[in-house]
Amino acid sequence: MKYTKIISSLVLAGAFVFSSSAIAADDAKKDKKKKPAASDKAKGKKGGRQNPMLSLKGLTADQKKELGALMKDTQAKQKAAGKDRDARRKVYQGMQAKLKDILTEAQLKELQQKRSQGRKGKGGKGGDAAKKGKKKKE
């Protein structure tokens, strides 16, 4: 009697976990199918979020054109690199070097600030996780 209650409880718990994970997977598929509007793509937005490079202050039309071409080229190279971390890192470093040629010093600093602000909520370098590991010097 005691074992049957335990077994039935485990079966019910397993069914609950299975059904909730199936629902979550179905929701993820639906969200993946949603595409950003064409106007969002033109503005540099991806999934409702604007690319920080295209929202820098004082960008000229030439700079915007060069940044657009650089982002498109970088995306293609990243896709071609696949999961090879070294190749992806080289592509990123190449993009950073080209950014220094396109942007002014003030724009580069602004971009760094925007990137660090974007990481704060995600536990990245600028987030709370990084602060927890630091100790104050006494």
The predicted model scores a pTM of 0.50
Task: Give the tens place of pLDDT for each residue, 59-94.
Answer: 899 998 999 999 999 999 999 999 999 999 999 999
Cβ(49)–Cβ(118) under 8 Å? no
Burial of 95 (0-12, 13-18, 19+ CB in 10 A): middle
Q: Pull the structure tokens for residue 73.
A: 């080229």
Q: Over the stretch 23-36, which tens digit does the pLDDT of each residue have? A: 666 666 666 655 55
Give pLDDT, residue 138: 46
